[in-house]
Each structure stands twice: as C-alpha cells, then as structure tokens.
Structure 1
C-alpha cells in the first residue's frame, strides 16, 4: 500500500462514534500530568515538559457553569500564571463546538495537524518474529530517560516526562527491542479498558530503515491482543510521511484529526 503527501492531507469528514469518543477520552486521560487543573469540564494541563498534549487545554466537556468567553479567559490566566503560553488542543469532540471559531476570532492561529489512527486487533494476524531480536519490558523512568536523551530533551523535560508517567492514572508499560543487549527501538503502551494507545515509538537514528519499528509494533500488538485489547490507537503528525506509511502498512486507519490553537 503506497502513501503519498496527498494521502496524509486528506481525511474523511468526521462522523461521531462511540469508539472515537472513547479513544479521545482515553488519550486525554493518558496525557494528564500531575500539574493540571479542572475548569468546568476542561482539563488544563500545565506540565513543564515538551509534549504539547501535556501542556495544553483539553476542552473535552462543557458543563455550562461559566460562559465560554469567561472560561477561555480563566484558562488563559491559569496558563500564564504557570509560565506557559495558552495552548488549546482542538478535536472534533471539543466542547463546546464553537470554541475553535471563537479562538480564531481572538487571534489564535492554527498549528500542527495530527491524525488519530486506530486498528481493530481482530485484524492483526501473528507473524514469525525476526531472529536475534528480543522484546524486553523496562521501567517508564528508564524509557523516558533513554528516549529523551536521544531526542535531545533537557534534564528538566526528561524529569517532567518521568513524573507524568509515574503519576498517570492510565497504566503505561514501556518496552525496548534489543539485539544482543543493544537497545534498538522503544515504545510505550497505555491501557484503558479494551483500548491500547501507543506512545513514544522511537528507533535509534543509526538503526532506522531496517524495519525495527514495524517489528516492535507487531510484537506489541500481538501482546495486547492476548491481554484482551480490542482496539489499538496512536497519534501522529500528518506530515510525518514515514511513520504514517508504517502505520498504514500495519493496518491502522485515520479515525479523526486534531490541531492546536496558539497565539
């Protein structure tokens, strides 16, 4: 199956489904850092880390206790008081739906185009594992340190990532694919009911192009299926052609898109 730039830009109009709603709520929960604040149904994430999803406003519910303008203002002030620029994550399920248009009128620009992709694990068929490669579990602290260092994160950003994983209400499980004790690729799996989200999928630069990420994900998908997981999901930038080609080849399909609003 080929994947071109035009394929990454095109996505079908969103149609609400129970699966999409559950995945959105699971991913918001998985991104929740210790430093967060609930505001009339919105989750205001205030992590000092690098991941945008953990330092952004997640407008998942709107209880109507505050007017929308007042709610936006309060969320902005809380971010600024914490030393962070206001950043809103906008998905098709953000509430209220008119929030995105209001932010545009307030001068917020749209940034980053992400795709949430999903795969029913009933469609995953076991494959023979490549010889010489070993899948090993490791602590989330160690994964955050190793992957953060390889990505050039600062010590404070690595600590923020470690703290978020330690405090997460969603269980995270970290894995490394090795050959003769040498770490080649990493990934994390966050489990929520019958859903498994894949995060921090990372291959060491010197080993890229060898099919290691595919091998790692195939083993983790098979593992997830044995644990009663029915649907896998992940989030990826639309412009990341290489990653999206891999995920498409594994059977993942676009479920919905989201973006950020910042000024």
Structure 2
C-alpha cells in the first residue's frame, strides 16, 4: 500500500538523514557539513505559526553561523506564501526536481540487456553494509570531494532499515553505482551514477532493475528523485516503470 505523498516526503528525509537537525516553529533545519542540498536545507513540510520573514531571518542567522548557504526545500506541502516570500527576498530558485514512484509489481520479469560489445564482461555486486571502496568509486565518478567520505559514512550509518550498495563493473572497471535504502515497505534509490564512457548503453537500467529485484522480498514500492532537466535519467526511470508523484525545488540565498 502506497503512502500519502506528504508522508512519502517525510520518509525520504528520514532515509537521507541529516547529521544534525534543529527544529524551529514547525520547520526542520538540516545540517550535514554541506554534503548534498537535501541534507543541508530547511524542510518546510510543516507550516510555521510566526511571521515568515521572522523565521526566514532566524534560519539565515543559523546557517551563517556554520558558514553554509541558507537553502529552503519547497514542496507542494510547504505553506503557499513561503515560495512567494523567498522570491521577494531575491532567493534563487534552483534545481526543480521530480519525486518519482513505482510499485515493484510493475518491474519486468526479465532484466534490460545493456548494449555492450561481446567482449564486455559484466559483474554485478550488491553489498549490504557500508563500503569504503564503494564510496571512493562514487566520489571518483561523481566528482564529490573525497574529504566528505567521513560525512557520507556517518549519514549512511544513521539510515534506518536495510542498506544496499550496488555496483556494476565492465571488465573489472567500475561503470555504474546506485544505493538503496529499504524501510517501511519502500525502497528509496539514491546516488545513481554511470561512468561517462558507459552512458546511453542501458547499463543504468540493468543495474537498477537488478537492485530493485533484490529489494522485492522486503518492499512493495519504490521512490527516487531526479532533477527535472535530466532527460536521459528520466527516460531510464520511465522505462523501469517510475511515474511522477510530485515536484519540489530549492530556494537559495544568493
């Protein structure tokens, strides 16, 4: 049974935990040493009771004190006046994104076949524990600073439920990665990346199908987020069966 969308948004925050969270008048101020916007933003699912400009100013002071930008995450569940207020305060709107969902019953019985040459030997590996090697490979493919690995480890250690770190190698070379968090009947998919040399060859579809298939004994639904402008990723997810559930975006103080 699928969750109401606001509860799904709340679950996605739990699955991607901040290292430190402070509560202010219904908002959650999430802080994680600057690693990812979603773990370093103000979640505005709950409406505030005070004047918006007062609370916004208090958020700015807090993030200024830790030398991080003030970032608000806006969803359909945020109070309607907040986005307009932030716009008037010259906050930039960045990364309009989509939350996608699917029932794992929709997953095809057969895996997608990557379009690789006959000499390509594919090896799939799924670990159910924190892997330093996986994190190092992710930093290498994504460009994330390796100095953030301790923060990444702490965040993963705080994740509830079952962790699955999937990797796909071609002839011994890491070609694609993805993370799954399985909890409360849902599979949250994070950190999906394919090496540039292996993009547009169906490898990501194969990896995600394999990962989701491994999760089926523990969950019945899945969700993932994608930047709205990322058309190649959206095509991959649509072929697997994901559909748009709602949109969200960030407002960042310049």
5 Å-filtered alignment, 1:172-183, equals 172-179=163-170, 181-183=172-174
For 1:231 and 1:53, locate their aligned partners in 2 and report how far apart those are by CA, in whole Å. 21
| Residue correspondences, number | 244
TM-score, reference length from structure 2: 0.87
3-state SS, counterpart of residue 38 of structure 2: helix
- 1:256 is paired with a residue of what secondary structure? strand
Compute the RMSD of aligned alpha carbons: 2.2
Superposition pairs of residues 142-157 of structure 1, within 5 angstroms = 142=132, 143-157=134-148
Q: Structure 1, unaligned stretches of length 5 or more?
A: 1-16
Q: For residues 211 and 63 of structure 1, what CA distance do their matches in structure 2 show?
A: 45
Note the residue ranges of structure 2 that are not aligned, 5 or more in a row. 114-120
Q: For 2:159 and 2:102, locate their aligned partners in 1 and report how far apart those are by CA, in whole Å.
A: 24
Q: Any idea what SS the aligned residue of 1:55 has? A: coil
Contact kept? 2:73, 2:250, Cα under 8 Å:
yes
Q: Which of 184, 194, 197 is the aligned partner of 2:188?
A: 197
1:106 paired to 2:97: no
Partner SS, residue 201 of structure 2? coil
Please state how far the C-alpha of 1:170 moved relative to its aligned partner. Answer: 5.4
Q: Give TM-score, length-normalised by structure 1.
A: 0.84
User: Which residue of the partner structure matches residue 208 of structure 1?
Assistant: 199
Residue of structure 2 in register with 1:6 after alignment? none
Tell me what 2:22 maps to: 37
1:54 alignment counterpart: 39
User: 2: CA distance between counterparts of 1:87 and 1:165?
Assistant: 22
Aligned to 1:123: 106
In the TM superposition, 1:224-243 aligns within 5 A as 224-227=215-218, 229-243=219-233
Contact persistence 1:116–1:257 (CA under 8 A): yes
**What's the CA shift for 1:93?**
1.2
| SS of alignment partner, residue 148 of structure 1 | helix
User: Residues 128 and 111 from structure 1, CA distance in 2 versus in 1: closer, same or farther, beyond 3 angstroms?
Assistant: closer
Pick which of 148-157 and 99-108 moved more: 148-157
Deviation (angstroms), 1:61: 1.5
- Whether the 8 Å CA contact 1:46–1:82 is kept in 2: the answer is no
Q: Is the 8 A contact 1:138 1:176 kept in 2?
A: no
The match for 1:246 among 232, 236, 240 is 236
